[in-house]
Every structure is written in C-alpha cells, then in structure tokens.
Amino acid sequence: MFQFSVSAASGGFTVVIDPGHGGKDSGTKGATCLEKDIVLAIGLKLGELIASNQPDVRIIYTRKTDVFIELNQRAIIANKAKADLFISLHADHSDAPGIRGACTFTLGQNRTSENMAIAKRENAVILLEDNYKQRYEGFDPNSAESYIMFEFMQENYMDQSVKFASMVQDKFRRSGRIDRSVRQDVFLVLRCTSMPSALIETGFLSNADEEQYLKSSAGQEQVAMDIYRGFADFRAHLQRKSTSAASMVKPEPQDHPAEIAKPDSTRVERRDSAKVREGIVYKVQILASDRKLTPSSKMLKGQEADFYQEKGFYKYTVGTYTRFNDADRKRKELSARFPDCFVVAWKEGKKMPIESAKTEESK
C-alpha cells in the first residue's frame, strides 16, 4: 500500500521525507505542472543530498513514485520508523498571481485566514480517502469548527519543529527567495507525527516565475539544497544541545505511538474495570492523544477521564451510561469545554457503531 524505502545504515538519526499528494491526488496545479510531481522531484533531490553529505542518516520516503497515500498513513510510516524529523513537501497556490515565496508550517493554532486557506487545501485530500470520517474522527477539512476543535498532539515537539522551520526559512532567504516566514496551523499530516515535524510550502505554482523555477531542475536543486542546509543546521543544533546539557529529552519509548504500526487493528484495551452490567454501555469521548496523559495534563482541562487504547492512540472518555440519552446529555454538558466530544458505544468490552447501539437499545 505504501512504499518504504530505507537507505544507509542507521547512525541514530532518521529523517522522513514526505512528498505531498500523489496518484489520484495531484495537489494544486500550475499552468503546466502539478504539485505532486514538483514535490516528489524536490523530495528525491533532498534525499540524495542528505545521503551523500550525511551518510549516517537513515532516510525514509513516504513515497518515491506517483502513488496515492493517505495522510494518516504518512504519519504512521514516520512513527513506525521512530523518526527524528518529518519533512512534508508541498507547493502553494494563490488567486493573486503576484504572490510568491516560501513558508514553513509547524503544527499549531496561530491562525490567520490565509493560513487557514492553505491548511484547508492541504487537508482536503482526506476527502479522497475511503472512510475518512471514521479515520479522522469526524474531522471535516472544510469546516472551520473542525479546526477550532483541534486538540494538540505535537506540544512536546513544538520548540524543535519551530527551530527546524526557522532554519529552513533562513536558507530560503539567503538564496534570495521571498521569506513568507514560519507559520502555524492545523495540518492533519503533522498532527499525528511523534517527532519534530514541518510542512514546507516551497513556492507558488500560481505565480508564473515561481512555477518555472520549481519546474526547472536547477530550481528544484536549489530548493532541495536550502532544505538540506536547514536540516544540517538543525542536526548540528541537536548535537550541540545533547552534548552541552542533558536537556535533550526524548519521550519514553513506551509512549511512542509505534503501536500505530497496526493501523487495521481493532483490538481495544480498556483500563476501567468498573463493573457494568452486560449489554451496551455508552461513554463520552473527549479527546485522543498519541501518548498517555497525566491526570493533570492541560489537555484534559481538569476533567477526570478514563481511557482506552485503540490504533495507537489513547482515547479519553467520561462516564459510563446504559442509555444513550443519558450519555448524550453528558456530551452536551461537556461540549462547552470539548467541542468535538462524541458518544461511543461498547458491548461486552468491544466498541460498536453508535447507530447499531441505538437501534439495539430501542428494541
């Protein structure tokens, strides 16, 4: 389903290069080219530069050919590889043909309407995926609310992600590119990665000059070189940090969502052993996290919650109800603090679709 290319032996640093889009998803379009082709070419060139200059780095590509890969699968590849850095490559579009330049996003909510437009476009690819509603838990790339509801998973890597992003932007600027700065918004592809990560909008295909630049081999090489230089700076920065102080902390391995590796697993573990009678029970799910949260975590907003594990995520729930209406009442109450919370149903320890649960309950 996806390509998994590994080059060179691991020297302790793994980078994932993620050329955006692919296959049936062409990304944005220039007058004479497609985003998916441009970013693949840049990604391959970037990989070559890293391989030849830093042969100890393990390089993994989410794709090396023109294939379609789901957004969450890209994060799964990176998490499974326990990567140290995730670089997603894209090209931008604007209705104003004069707009040009490069910017680098990290995950965050520092939103502007312009960022939002970019995030919407890059996230819209999930509409091409089957079952995207289940897979992304109701996330609708076109709904502003979906973005507001977003809960952070990347908090721990924020500083490093921004560091990398600013090093890349610095190199773009030195190459004479227009620096559209480091930005933050909700990009699904970054959301589930468990490492520093950034999404680079390498330039505008809607600008004639920039399209020519990004289409040309020389332009692609320069973009790849700028990113490579940012990468080299970032690595040097990490090495300085780890030798100068013991402050460089990687999360505990058990908190690493490498278990995500089994995306189709439907195995569910439940922690709460509260005795509930046989039959259907309902709970209100308030959020999902790629790592186990402490009870004082600000993500829980002071709410006491149980959790279960599913597909590599810790999913937090409130309450146990035997009637849907009671659970739904709780959901309404919680929605002030957790706007995207929803009711989940269980039968004999197994999660079941909510509609089937309601039908069964009404019998």
- Residues near Zn ion, by CB under 5 A: 20, 27, 90, 122
| Choice between 27 and 219, CB closer to Zn ion | 27
The residue nearest Zn ion at its CB is: 90
Does residue 358 contact residue 324 with C-beta atoms inside 8 Å?
yes
Min dist. Cβ of residue 165 to Zn ion (A): 16
Burial class (CB in 10 A: 0-12, 13-18, 19+), 112: exposed
Going by the DSSP 8-state scheme, the letter that residue 322 receives in this structure is: S
- Give the residue with the Cβ less far from Zn ion, 20 or 230: 20
Token pair for 222: 């320069």
* Nearer Cβ to Zn ion (180/331): 180
Question: For residues 104 and 156, which CB has a smaller minimum distance to Zn ion in the complex?
Answer: 104
Q: How far is the CB of 38 from Zn ion (least distance, A)?
A: 10
The answer to whether 282 and 344 have CB atoms below 8 angstroms apart is: yes
In what order do the strands lie in the sheet containing 57-61?
Answer: 5-7, 57-61, 13-19, 85-92, 197-204, 102-107, 179-185
Least Å distance between CB 36 and Zn ion? 8
Mutual orientation of helices 35-53 and 208-215 as an angle, nearest 10°?
50
Helix ranges restricted to H, the chain = 35-53, 71-80, 113-123, 132-135, 144-148, 158-174, 188-191, 208-215, 217-244, 324-334, 354-362
**Residue 173 burial (CB < 10 Å; 0-12/13-18/19+)?**
middle
Angle 244-248-250 (CA atoms, 0-180°, nearest 5)? 155
Task: Name which of 23 and 279 has its Cβ closer to Zn ion.
Answer: 23
Query: Which residues is 89 bridged to in the sheet?
Result: 19, 200
DSSP letter, residue 112:
-
Nearer to Zn ion, 123 or 289 (CB): 123
Give the shortest CB-241-to-Zn ion separation in angstroms.
Answer: 31
Compare residues 90 and 191 and give the one whose CB is closer to Zn ion: 90
Buried b vs exposed e over 207-217: b needs ≥16 C-beta within 10 Å? beebbebbbee
Q: What single-letter DSSP state applies at residue 258? A: G
C-beta of 89: minimal distance to Zn ion in Å? 8
- What minimum distance in Å lies between the beta carbon of 16 and Zn ion? 16
Q: How far is the CB of 39 from Zn ion (least distance, A)?
A: 7
**Token pair in block for residue 351:** 């999660």
Question: Residue 252 CB, nearest distance to Zn ion (Å)?
Answer: 33
State which residue, 62 or 285, has the beta carbon closest to Zn ion.
Answer: 62
Q: What is the DSSP string of 8-37?
A: S---SEEEEEEE--BTTB--SB-SS-BHHH
Minimum distance from residue 20 beta carbon to Zn ion (Å): 4
In angstroms, give the least distance from the CB of 301 to Zn ion: 33
Strand partners, 318: 284
Q: Quick one: 67 or 352, whose CB is closer to Zn ion?
A: 67
Q: Which is nearer to Zn ion, 20 or 312 (CB)?
A: 20
